[in-house]
A and B are shown apart, each in its own frame.
Chain A
Amino acid sequence: MGSFDLYLVGWQLIDPQVFIMIFFGTLLGIIVGALPGLTATMAVSIIVPLTYKMSPVVSILMLLGVYCGGNYGGSISACLINIPGTPSAIMTGLDGHPLARRGKAGLAIGMATLASVIGGLFSVFILAAFSPIIANIALKFKSLEIFGVALFGLSVIAYVSPGSTLKGIMVGFFGLLVATIGFDPTLGVSRFGFGSTNLLGGIDFVSAMIGLFGMSEMLANIEKTKKERDFGFLQEKVTKTWDALKYIRKLKAVLLRSSIVGVIIGAIPGAGGTIAAITAYGLQKKVSKYSHLMGQGSLEGIAAPESSNNACTGGAMTPLLSLGIPGDAVTAVLIGAFIIHGIVPGPMMYTTNPDMVSAIFIGMLLANIMILLIGMPGAKYISKLLKIPSQILNSLIIALCIIGTFAIKNSLFDTCVMLVFGGIGYLLSKAKVPKAPIVLALVLGPIMEENLRRWASLAEGKYWTEFVNAVLTNPVTLSMVLATLAVLLAPVIMKKKHFSEDDIQFTSTTGDTDPNEIIFAEKKK
């Protein structure tokens, strides 16, 4: 297959059904993303069970629609009520909300939509251009190299997760231990089965996911008062979203810079949209001539984080498709969806399933176009969903978590696993321990162990001393191990200030400044 064919072969799979499902996926993602407390990860987790009976292409592209839409949807509530629908919209509210308070909610959401689409499309082009190159290199990797890459991926997510790195690593190891339940990958011996046939196949990944990201949030939500959960105080009307188009040319440098930041950060396993948005906003504040106006309703302050967090989607898909390593929690959940449909993401996909890879590029492209088509005219209707009473929404999600998990294998045991992980997730949130490393460990754990053990049984070196020797003589694995050590020891050496979402305070500017004074910083040139 010629290199350019990779970008065309997928069109054969895009039939009207696929098109409609991408549309529904994106719409669903935007709605879920717009509702505070519901994240894109949760949306993808609870929708995975719905896709069992669909064809792989339809289900994966629909989930990608949810992913892209979910990342964008958070900006709607961030602009309107100053509460980010998803963590990645955390910076959008800083400027989006003050602008909305001045009666320019349509302009704020319009700008967020256009920036998201531009960032998303940019990231798809980068994904399509670079992932085949990385995959080509990764195809030459053998067991020990794959082990090294998986180890590095796991260490990075522990480092960048909110809160303490040590706790992130510990919870990652907990996930790795959970992943060892079931049959041993080389000898077929049952481990930690305790006589239960249900545990022979290990812990179902999707059930654990739904528990960690869906049920745990519902358990946490019940602690809040009704007033804290409901968002019925929405007052701003969303009109004239297309007005934002006028400012795009002036913001092209901001959009390009932030999109590049988003793609790079998205490609780092575990970093994700939140960090990308914060970095892009911070960078914009540093380089902008009008940085003093940011935080008061500047369009630069909306464009930078929004283009950056949506550019993360393509960035996060790059390691997933080319190396089989998820770039963030959502892509970790997506791996579960791939596996359910018999597709193993990684470099082999480019040779065994090029049509699927191509369809993913096209699907993400379409999902971003759908964001534009849904977001610009539909934001005013989606914003009305913020008035749904939380008790209805939460109860619906609980039912979805249970029915969705049950539908996987009609297994009562899996549903119990979901509930147990829901409880674990709730307790971890209480202890301020990140949950994402568990997800990544559940995905990467079996890859790590299988490759390590395969190397050990094929090579002469079956003892740990020989393993150390092999690592020291293998340049790829050695560099990965050194990079892992650097990541893990960095906080000790550099006394890293841990990133915490709690650290970010919403400087809720309530529109005290003159409404006509600051709308768009560059306009004053």
Chain B
Amino acid sequence: MKDFVFSAIMMALSLFIFIASEAFAAKGNNALSLAYNPAFYPRVLAFSLFIMACVLMFQSIRKGSLKNVRIHIDRQKLVKVLKLFLIVLLYIVGINYAGYIISSVICIFLSIAIYGGSRKQAFVYCIIITVALYLIFQIGFRIPLPKGDIFEYWR
């Protein structure tokens, strides 16, 4: 089943490449030119990928993976992964607006908690990690960390 889904996604991707490459494809004499058609190379790749996806799909159907389709999704695990994904997304967005320190403290706290740490542990280590990374990046390697748009705006 996994192979079937994987090949279907790859097929869709290769079709998408074909359609999207129309925007910059050369027309007329240069349509089949390797040098002067910017779309030629990606299209060759997409076509090859499509063929391979067909082979994989055929193989997975032949193996009978579609006969006993049982998609087992562990909801608990899925929710955990999605939660972590959202925390990371929040961190990424937050770092730009609230700056490094605030977003790091919040997101590392949440991350430790979601990985199963206690609140006390999360509270202590979110501060330690934030300060340690600040010292490494900002002080040690002189790589500027964002202060956040909100603080820039207030200033």
Contacts and interface: CB of A to CB of B under 8 A. Distances in A.
B38 A187 contact: yes
Contacts of A189: 24, 38
B6 A398 contact: no
Contacts of A430: 2
Nearest to A400: B133
A174 B9 CA distance: 11
A303 to B, nearest CB: 37
Interface in A206-226: 215, 218-219, 221-223, 226
A389 B117 contact: yes
A34 B48 CA distance: 41
B80 interface: yes
Nearest to A407: B143
A419 interface: yes
Nearest to A215: B88
Contacts of B136: 50
A389 B121 contact: yes
Chain A contact surface mostly: helix
A389 B108 CA distance: 14
Contact of B96 (A398, A412, A453): A412
Contacts of B104: 399, 403
Given A166-B52, A399-B104, 4 more contacts: A53-B141, A399-B91, A419-B88, A462-B36
B150 interface: no
B81 interface: yes
B55 A166 contact: yes
Contacts of A433: 6
Interface in B99-132: 100, 104, 107-108, 111-112, 114-117, 121-122, 125-126, 129-130
Interface string A172-195: 011011001000101101111010
B42 A191 contact: yes
B81 A176 contact: no
Contacts of B91: 398-399, 402
B116 A391 contact: yes
Given A189-B24, A191-B24, A218-B84, A176 B36 contact: no
Interface string A9-52: 00000000000000000000000000000000000000001101
B129 A177 contact: no
Contacts of B141: 50, 52-54
Nearest to A414: B92
Contacts of B133: 399-400, 403
B137 A416 contact: no
A395 interface: yes
A395 B111 contact: yes
A483 interface: no
Contacts of B35: 186, 453, 456-457, 462
Interface of B: 2-3, 5-7, 10, 13, 17, 20-21, 24, 32-36, 38-39, 41-42, 45-46, 48-49, 52-53, 55-56, 59, 74, 77, 80-81, 84-85, 88-89, 91-93, 95-96, 100, 104, 107-108, 111-112, 114-117, 121-122, 125-126, 129-130, 133, 136-137, 141-146
Contact of A187 (B21, B36, B126): B36
Given A402-B92, A403-B100, A223 B80 contact: yes
B34 A219 contact: no
Contact of A184 (B10, B38, B52, B144): B38
Nearest to B111: A395
B4 to A, nearest CB: 10
Contacts of B39: 191
Interface centre among A53, A167, A391, A426 (most CB of B within 10 A): A391
A418 to B, nearest CB: 8
A252 B38 CA distance: 56
Contact of B2 (A389, A391, A431): A431
Contact of A452 (B21, B41, B146): B41
A180 B32 CA distance: 18
Contacts of A392: 112, 117, 121, 125, 129
